[in-house]
């Protein structure tokens, strides 16, 4: 162990990391207590916020200070204010409110896996029984569909604009593992001639159908309930959407699916994949690269695939060319693969 004179080792990162779980719990508590909503309503001191949230002033002062340290609030004197992010995503009155996403992101099925990381590393896949989150008809996906929708509207619109910028030609679209349905629905909203077929577990499709109704595209929206690996897709699709789906599976499994996708596409059709795509070094950018850990602990053999890995899967299954597109301001990327 060599220590240069200029550098001093510090246990700070160790402590911050060993206590990082407290950040998760503090955010969950603040959402549960409606702290962000209370501040958005105009309560700014610990005493006012505590009264609105039916909590103690002392506890609220410590929580709000902690949220300030986490950069989810600002503090001036003894007054707390929302940041732009917390006003947008954590005040219940905001249309982009994400509080509901915690039900999915903090569901035991998702967090249980991360309590057994050592075991997952030994095994090379989830330490949970069965297939983890990808088990058939897992109820977590209804929570996903309901909780994650508010934050999906923006990326969904961005993808529709990227793939179908003019929105003026007949399009037959298959939305695989549609979830909340917002991706397919964005294409339908963007193009009055687009017809969308959404595929997911039956219980999840109920959420997608509600969202199609709300978006006024229900007359161009149909569904196929079941498992994407088993059901018939139909054929002649101009687009097949694969949003946040491939990361759950290993490469051979994905290639089995992609062959089926290739068959279902019309000539000149395109597969549109939304994914966390780390750079080839697998450690940048941090959010996309770090997603691998969630797949290790939550699935038998899923991963965050690099573009070269995705490209190879598509090439192996008959696609002629894949192109990578960033999707700012999201941390995800889009791969468009041509038949």
Q: Which is nearer to its own copies, 120 or 173 (CB)?
A: 120
Q: How far is the CB of 15 from its own copies (least distance, A)?
A: 7
**Which of 5, 11, 42, 165 contacts its own copies by CB under 8 A?**
11
The residue among 62 and 266 lying less far from its own copies, judged by its C-beta, is 62
Min dist. Cβ of residue 106 to its own copies (A): 7
Q: Cβ neighbours of residue 1 under 8 Å, at least 6 residues apart?
A: none
CA–CA distance, 55 with 238 (Å, rounded to integer): 55
Q: Which stretch binds its own copies (CB under 8 A): 68-76, 169-177, 230-238, 261-269?
A: 68-76
Of residues 56 and 256, the one with the C-beta less far from its own copies:
56
- Interface pick for its own copies out of 56, 193, 227, 279 (rule CB under 8 A): 56
Distance CA 36, CA 74 (A): 12
By CB under 8 A, is residue 168 in contact with its own copies? no
Binding mask 70-89 for its own copies (x = CB under 8 A): xxx--x--------xx-xxx
The minimum distance between CB 316 and its own copies, in angstroms, equals 20
The answer to whether 47 contacts its own copies (rule: CB under 8 A) is no
Q: Interaction with its own copies in 220-259: which residues (CB under 8 A)?
A: none
Smaller CB distance to its own copies: residue 42 or 268?
A: 42
Site for its own copies in 15-34 (CB under 8 A): 15-29, 32-33
SS3 string of the chain? CCCCCCCCCCCHHHHHHHCCHHHHHHHHHHHHHCHHHHHHCCCCEHHHHHHHHCCCHHHHHHHHHHHHHCCCEEEECCEEEECHHHHHHCCCCCCCCCCCHHHHHCCHHHHHHHCCHHHHHHHCCCCCCCCHHHCCCCCHHHHHHHHHHHHHHHHHHHHHHHHCCCCCCCEEEEEECCCCCHHHHHHHHHCCCEEEEEEECHHHHHHHHHHHHHCCCHHHEEEEECCCCCCCCCCCEEEEEEECCHHHCCHHHHHHHHHHHHHHEEEEEEEEEEECCCCCCCCCCHHHHHHHHHHHHHCCCCCCCCHHHHHHHHHHCCCCEEEEEECCCCCCEEEEEEC
50: left (phi over 0), alpha (psi -120 to 50) or beta: alpha
> Which is nearer to its own copies, 115 or 170 (by Cβ)?
115
Q: Does 274 bind its own copies (CB under 8 A)?
A: no
Q: Whose Cβ is closer to its own copies: residue 71's or residue 263's?
A: 71
Question: Closest CB to its own copies among 122 and 321?
Answer: 122
Between 40 and 269, CB nearer to its own copies: 40
Size of the site for its own copies (CB under 8 A): 89
Using CB under 8 A, which residues numbered 282 to 321 contact its own copies? 282-283, 286-287, 289-290, 292-297, 301, 303
> 124 to 143, contacts with its own copies by CB under 8 A?
124-125
For its own copies, the binding residue among 37, 38, 44, 98 (CB under 8 A) is 98
Choose one: 4-12, 136-144, 161-169, 170-178; the region binding its own copies (CB under 8 A). 4-12
Interface residue with its own copies among 162, 215, 315, 331 (CB under 8 A) is 331
Distance CA 30, CA 67 (A): 8
Q: C-beta of 72: minimal distance to its own copies in Å?
A: 7
Residue of 224, 210, 151, 220 whose CA lies nearest to 189: 220
């Amino acid at each position: 162990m060599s220590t240069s004179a200029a550098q001093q080792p510090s246990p700070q990162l160790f402590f911050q990391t060993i206590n990082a779980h407290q950040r998760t719990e503090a955010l969950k508590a603040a959402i549960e207590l409606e702290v962000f909503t209370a501040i958005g309503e105009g309560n700014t001191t610990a005493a006012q916020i505590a009264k609105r949230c039916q909590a103690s002033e002392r506890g609220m002062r410590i929580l709000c200070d902690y949220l300030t340290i986490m950069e989810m609030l600002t503090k001036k004197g003894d007054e707390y204010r929302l940041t732009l992010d917390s006003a947008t995503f954590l005040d219940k009155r905001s249309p982009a409110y994400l509080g509901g996403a915690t039900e999915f992101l903090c569901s035991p099925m998702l967090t249980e896996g991360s309590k057994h990381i050592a075991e997952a590393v030994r095994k090379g896949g989830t330490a949970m029984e069965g297939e983890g989150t990808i088990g058939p008809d897992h109820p977590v996906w209804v929570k996903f569909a309901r909780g994650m929708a508010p934050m999906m509207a923006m990326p969904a619109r961005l993808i529709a604009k990227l793939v179908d910028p003019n929105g003026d030609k007949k399009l037959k679209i298959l939305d695989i593992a549609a979830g909340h349905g917002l991706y397919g629905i964005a294409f339908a909203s963007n193009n009055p001639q687009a017809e969308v077929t959404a595929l997911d577990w039956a219980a999840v499709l109920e959420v997608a159908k509600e969202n199609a109704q709300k978006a006024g595209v229900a007359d161009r929206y149909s569904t196929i309930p079941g498992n994407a690996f088993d059901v018939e897709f139909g054929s002649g699709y101009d687009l097949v959407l694969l949003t946040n789906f491939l990361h759950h599976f290993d490469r051979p499994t994905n290639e089995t699916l992609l062959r089926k996708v290739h068959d279902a596409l019309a000539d000149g059709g395109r597969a549109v994949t939304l994914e966390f795509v780390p750079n080839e070094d697998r450690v940048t950018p941090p959010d996309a690269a770090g997603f691998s850990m969630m797949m290790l602990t939550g699935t038998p053999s899923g991963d965050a695939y690099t573009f070269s890995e995705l490209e190879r899967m598509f090439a192996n299954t008959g696609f002629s060319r894949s192109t990578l597109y960033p999707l700012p301001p999201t941390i995800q990327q889009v791969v468009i693969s041509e038949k």
